[in-house]
Amino acid sequence: MSDPGQSGFSLVEVIAALGVFSIAAMGMIHLSNETQINASHLDIRTLAEIEASNLVADAVTAPPPVSPGMETGESVQRGRTLKWSRTITATPQAGLLLVAVDVRHPATDQVLARIQSLRTER
């Protein structure tokens, strides 16, 4: 098939090598894309956890008296808008209130972070 005096790769070998390389390259591109998507999700979840922690801290350290009820609002963390709701409810234990905070994605309404804590009424 090939002349014994010539060295190098045949056209079939080169095409086969390019095919293998292109399959590997497509896998690497897909992996890179998935990594970027996951990093974006992790980023917004981290910001939601920070916002939820801040909202719980505000409710727990607020001066008394604190009345049960629900508050909702929006906040911005590093340029990203987050929707939140904070519910304060009485517990069976006299003098204790449950503070529950949900932080949601503004477009999908998906809960990104949920934190609960207790505080005293007075």
Residue partners of 99: CB distance under 8 A and separation at least 6: 56, 59, 60, 86, 87, 88, 116, 117, 118, 119
- Give tens-digit pLDDT for 80-89: 899 999 999 9
Among residues of the chain, what percentage have pLDDT more than 70?
96
Q: How far apart are CA 104 and CA 72, in angstroms?
A: 11
- Give tens-digit pLDDT for 15-59: 999 999 999 999 999 988 888 888 878 889 999 999 999 999 999
- Averaged pLDDT of the chain: 90
Q: Is residue 37 part of a domain?
A: yes
- Give tens-digit pLDDT for 72-114: 999 998 888 999 999 999 999 988 999 999 999 999 999 999 9
Q: How many domains does the chain have?
A: 1
pLDDT of residue 5: 65
Q: Is residue 4 part of a domain?
A: no
Q: How far apart are CA 94 and CA 118, in angstroms?
A: 12
pTM over 0.75: no
Domain that holds residue 79: 11-120
Q: How far apart are CA 45 and CA 48, in angstroms?
A: 5
CATH number at residue 17: 3.30.1300.30
